[in-house]
Amino acid sequence: GRHAEALAMIDTVDPVAYQATTVDPGRAAVLHAIKAQILLGMGRRATGQSMMDMALKEMHTQGVAEEEVAPFRKLLQAPAVAQGTAAR
């Protein structure tokens, strides 16, 4: 479906080239967060949550603006993720 299509598309983005197009910090970390968001949307909770945790740490370390980080953080606060239950 659309998630698989989005996942295939995000895997084609070169983080170094993306970073070169903007002065905004942490583009590779943002790409990781987007990929994690897609995985969570596909019901791949364990992988998506782990990737999102790492991406959030990377974004913080690299100085990504809080208003950009916040929507990704909220995804981890969703009940299914917070309780560790998998979407079936």
pLDDT tens column, 37-60: 999 999 999 999 999 999 999 999
Structure tokens at 28: 């590779």
Give the global pTM.
0.83
Structure tokens at 22: 């903007």
pLDDT tens column, 10-31: 999 999 999 999 999 999 999 9
Residue 62 near residue 26 (C-beta atoms within 8 A) = yes
Closest to 59 (Cα-Cα) out of 48, 47, 71: 71
* Distance separating alpha carbons of residues 84 and 79, to the nearest angstrom: 8
Structure tokens at 57: 């740490």
